[in-house]
């Protein structure tokens, strides 16, 4: 009895479960995809659209094609910001990533006392919000009661001036290095730990020295990871905003409303209410990020190919 | 793992070890100095900040007074900010992790039309700098009537392409497809399979994504700065930065102790999470980049 009634049910059930299997991924994907489209894809195209228009006193909003981009190309303020980012990146990236790599190699060498403590301790600043880090360092640098000034006074040395046009860049870079060096160290360390021990034995047998083993074996093996970190760090550097935006309170003459392209875009939009030009600036910046990461990937793909 | 060609008994090993450890100690001092400074400063009265050395205690121990000042200043708005940060970060963390996990599960365990293309687009979005989107996001949430409401910060933050990427690599490894097929043969529905089988297997990865998103939203500054404006909706990072900028001007000296103590209070939750959940944290940060 049960056999007979159960049998015709089976194929029907199978068919329904096949359908369920076909539909299920769309249900799982839908919530993410909806928000992804609304809050990421739409704003992206909206920004592109905005950048093609301009709001004028008379005549309202009108289509101006690439005019905003043309304006950006000849805008001294924008280029000063770009130039500043370039100087910033050329200092901050090598120092931060170099230090992170050095620290990771030391951790990985197995020659350290209290390795777990160092790993955790160096990573700790990453837990501090950027804004809080910036304001703590702001106080540390500060001329009124900052410890650096106190130490200089104690030894009768000239007070360090970290807020002039030349030094500010390094003061900002230091905050960002302090925050992120441990993060990149952790990433390098994990990659180094994944290198099989056989490589080291082979190096010992062939009589390699420690530094030779590092340069000719370890570093080439983690090249992919290094590339990813360079991309991440470049994207981060191009977006520089919070640190200078906070320090502006201490040095308003140095940190202008167009100090970095990001601060410029922010001020254009929320102080000048010029959303169209601001969108163009943001878009140029975003395009630079995309090109930079694409070129890095292309270069690495070509290298892997050889 | 010892360094090549050296054993722990040799003299040169011991010399190198001591030198390297000394170098690490220098870096640790650099890492800890600002944190020690802000902790010490939060125990000082405003007068002591100016008259005593930054890296040592002051003449008085004013931590409790400072805490009272922080929590009382401007009609006790600081506790509202802390609470906002907590609510926003928790909602974003759980929401983003659920959305990422569902999407990653679809990418990992199903075949469907357009799968490769959609995944490529999501992956490409990891590279889009959030700042390029902030202005259009602001205009968008304004037109939706969400500006200056928590949703203006929460909803956009729930989109985490990196979370999808992280969860997909985790699910690929930890949830065997055979198990899902076996459950199907037994007649379990697709949603039941997800919740009672797959989700349990991916729980550690899920916790990592929750934790990472919590910390990122707790630390986020640019987006809430733009989309939230009235004081009682701000998270603690934006609120404290506002006080800091006020203190930069003339006559803001009274704010020094308040801001320094507020900074300590606002990093305590993240540091506690960091210390107690470091395994999840470190695991999540390294998964994505080491494989690439």
Task: Evaluate the CA torsion angle B187, B189, B190, B195 in order and state its sign.
Answer: negative
The pLDDT value given to residue A14: 55
Residue B22 placed within a domain: no
Q: What pLDDT is stored for residue A7 in this prediction?
A: 47
Beta-strand ranges (E) seen in chain B are none
Interval B11-22: pLDDT, tens: 777 888 888 899
CATH number of the domain encompassing residue B265: 1.10.3720.10
Q: Residue B5 domain-assigned?
A: no
Cα distance from A106 to chain B (closest Cα, Å)?
A: 7
Distance spanning both ends of chain B, measured CA to CA:
25
| Ramachandran sector of residue A110 (left: φ over 0; alpha: ψ -120 to 50; beta: rest) | left
Task: Tell me how crowded residue B106 is: count the other CB atoms within 10 A of its CB.
Answer: 26
pLDDT band at B6 (very low <50, low <70, confident <90, very high): low
ipTM of the complex: 0.87
Residue B224, in any domain of the structure: yes
CA–CA distance, A267 with A257 (Å, rounded to integer): 6
Q: What is the pLDDT of residue B291?
A: 42
**Structure token digits, residue A34:** 């909806």
**Considering the domain boundaries, does residue B44 fall inside one?**
no
Name the residue with tokens 């001036």. A161
Which residue of A11, A111, A190, A222 to mutate against B (max B Cβ within 10 Å)? Answer: A111
- Nearest by CB to residue B274, choosing from A42, A124, A140, is A124
Q: Over chain A, what is the mean pLDDT?
A: 86
Residue B134 has pLDDT above 60, yes or no: yes
Residue B120 resides in a domain = yes
Measured CA to CA, the distance from residue A137 to residue A151 in angstroms comes to 16
- In this predicted structure, which of A122-136, B91-105, B250-264 has the lowest mean pLDDT? B250-264
Q: Which of A108, A145, A275, A293 to mutate to test the interface with B (most CBs of B within 10 A)?
A: A145
Residue A17 has pLDDT above 80, yes or no: no
Rounded to an integer, the average pLDDT of B25-35 is 95
Q: Determine the longest span between alpha carbons in chain B, in angstroms.
A: 76
Q: Domain total for chain B?
A: 1
Minimum mean pLDDT among A22-31, A55-64, A223-232, B6-15: which range?
B6-15
Residues from chain A contacting residue B140 (CB–CB below 8 Å): 38-39, 42-43, 46
- Quick one: pLDDT at residue B8? 60
CATH class of A73-305: mainly alpha
What pLDDT, on the 0 to 100 scale, is given for residue A295? 81
Closest residue on chain B to A236 (Cα): B129
**Terminal Cα-to-Cα distance of chain A (whole angstroms):** 70
A9 pLDDT band (50/70/90 cuts)? very low
What's the pLDDT tens digit per position in A158-174? 888 888 888 999 999 99
Domain ranges of chain A: 2-50, 73-305
Question: What pLDDT band is residue A35 in, cutting at 50, 70 and 90?
Answer: very high
Residues of the domain holding B177: 63-291
Long-range pairs for A118-122 at CB < 8 Å and ≥24 separation? A118/B24, A118/B27, A118/B28, A119/A185, A119/A186, A119/A189, A120/B278, A121/B28, A121/B31, A121/B32, A122/A181, A122/A182, A122/A185, A122/B24, A122/B27, A122/B28, A122/B31
Taking only residues 231 to 250 of chain A, the set having a beta carbon closer than 8 angstroms to any beta carbon of chain B reads 231-232, 235, 238-239, 241-242, 246, 248-250
Q: What mean pLDDT do residues A138-148 have? A: 84
Q: Is A39 left (phi over 0), alpha (psi -120 to 50) or beta?
A: alpha
| Ramachandran quadrant class, B55 (left: phi over 0; alpha: psi -120 to 50; beta: rest) | alpha
Looking at per-residue confidence, does A30 or A112 come out higher?
A30
pLDDT at B87: 97
Q: Is A290 exposed, middle or buried (0-12, 13-18, 19+ CB in 10 A)?
A: middle
A33-47 burial: b if 16+ Cβ within 10 Å, else e:
bebbeebbbebbebb
Please say whether the beta carbons of A4 and B72 come within 8 A. no
Q: What integer pLDDT is reported at residue B90 of this predicted model?
A: 96
Residue B244 belongs to some domain of the structure:
yes
Chain B residues near residue A231 by CB distance under 8 angstroms: 127
**CB-CB contact of B133 with A50 (8 Å):** no
Does A190 sit within 8 Å of B34, measured CB to CB? no
B132/A35 CB distance under 8 A: no
Q: Which of B206, B162, B200 is nearest to B183 (CA)?
A: B200
Placement of tokens 């020659």 in the chain: A111
pLDDT of residue B286: 65
Most confident of A109-113, A167-171, B51-55: A167-171
Instruction: Report the percentage of chain A scoring pLDDT > 90.
Output: 40
Model pLDDT, residue B235: 97
Q: Specify the DSSP class assigned to residue A63.
A: E
pLDDT at A2: 45
A211-254 confidence digits (pLDDT tens): 888 888 889 889 888 988 898 898 889 889 999 999 988 888 89
Query: Which tens digits make up the pLDDT trace of B219-255?
Result: 999 999 999 999 999 999 999 999 988 875 444 566 8
From the list B37, B161, B266, which residue is nearest A132 (CB)? B266
* CB count in 10 Å sphere of residue B233: 20
At B2 the pLDDT is 44
Indicate if the alpha-carbon torsion angle B273, B279, B285, B287 is positive or negative.
negative
Torsions phi, psi of A53, nearest 5?
-120, 165
The answer to the question of residue B8 being in a domain is no
B28 assigned to some structural domain: no
């Amino acid at each position: 009895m049960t056999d007979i009634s159960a049998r015709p049910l089976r194929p029907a059930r199978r068919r329904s479960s096949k359908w369920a299997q076909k539909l299920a991924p769309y249900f799982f994907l839908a919530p993410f995809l909806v928000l992804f489209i609304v809050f990421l894809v739409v704003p992206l195209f909206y920004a592109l659209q905005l950048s093609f228009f301009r709001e004028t006193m008379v005549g309202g909003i009108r289509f101006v094609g690439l005019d905003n981009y043309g304006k950006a190309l000849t805008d001294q303020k924008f280029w000063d910001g770009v130039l500043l980012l370039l100087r910033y990146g050329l200092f901050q990236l090598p120092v931060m990533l170099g230090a992170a790599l050095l620290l990771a190699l030391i951790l990985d060498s197995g020659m350290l006392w209290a390795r777990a403590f160092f790993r955790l301790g160096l990573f700790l600043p990453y837990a501090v919000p950027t804004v809080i880090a910036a304001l703590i360092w702001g106080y540390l640098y500060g001329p009124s009661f900052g410890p650096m000034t106190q130490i200089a006074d104690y030894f009768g040395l000239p007070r360090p001036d970290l807020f002039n046009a030349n030094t500010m860049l390094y003061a900002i870079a230091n905050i960002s290095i302090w925050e992120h060096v441990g993060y990149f160290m952790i990433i390098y360390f994990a990659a180094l730990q994944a290198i099989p021990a056989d490589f080291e034995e082979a190096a010992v047998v062939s009589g390699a020295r420690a530094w030779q083993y590092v340069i000719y074996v370890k570093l080439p093996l983690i090249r992919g990871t290094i590339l990813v970190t360079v991309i991440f760090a470049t994207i981060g550097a191009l977006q520089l905003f919070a640190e200078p935006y906070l320090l502006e309170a201490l040095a308003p003459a140095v940190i202008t409303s167009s100090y970095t392209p990001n601060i410029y875009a922010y001020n254009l939009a929320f102080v000048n209410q010029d959303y169209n030009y601001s969108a163009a600036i943001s878009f140029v910046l975003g395009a630079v990020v995309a090109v930079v990461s694409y070129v890095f990937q292309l270069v690495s793909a070509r290298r892997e190919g050889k | 793992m010892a360094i090549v060609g050296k054993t722990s008994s040799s003299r040169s090993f011991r010399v190198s070890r001591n030198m390297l450890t000394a170098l690490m100690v220098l870096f640790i001092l650099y890492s800890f100095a600002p944190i020690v400074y802000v902790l010490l400063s939060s125990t000082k009265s405003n007068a002591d900040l100016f008259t005593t050395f930054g890296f040592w205690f002051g003449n008085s121990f004013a931590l409790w007074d400072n805490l009272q000042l922080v929590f009382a200043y401007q009609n006790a708005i600081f506790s509202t900010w802390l609470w906002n940060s907590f609510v926003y970060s928790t909602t974003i963390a759980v929401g983003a992790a659920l959305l990422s996990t569902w999407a990653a599960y679809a990418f990992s365990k199903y075949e469907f039309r357009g799968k490769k293309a959609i995944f490529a687009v999501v992956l490409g979005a990891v590279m889009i700098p959030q700042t390029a989107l902030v202005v259009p996001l602001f205009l968008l949430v304004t037109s939706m009537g969400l500006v200056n409401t928590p949703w203006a910060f929460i909803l956009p933050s729930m989109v985490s392409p990196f979370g999808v990427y992280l969860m997909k690599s985790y699910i690929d490894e930890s949830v065997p497809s055979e198990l899902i097929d076996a459950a199907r043969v037994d007649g379990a529905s697709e949603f039941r399979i997800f919740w009672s089988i797959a989700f349990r297997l991916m729980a550690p990865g899920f916790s990592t994504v929750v934790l990472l998103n919590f910390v990122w939203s707790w630390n986020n500054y640019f987006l809430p700065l733009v989309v939230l404006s009235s004081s009682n909706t701000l998270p603690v990072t934006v609120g404290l930065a506002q006080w800091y900028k006020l203190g930069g001007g003339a006559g803001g000296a009274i704010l020094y102790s308040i801001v320094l103590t507020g900074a300590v209070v606002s990093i305590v939750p993240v540091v506690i999470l960091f210390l107690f959940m470091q395994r999840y944290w470190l695991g999540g940060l390294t998964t994505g980049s080491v494989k690439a």
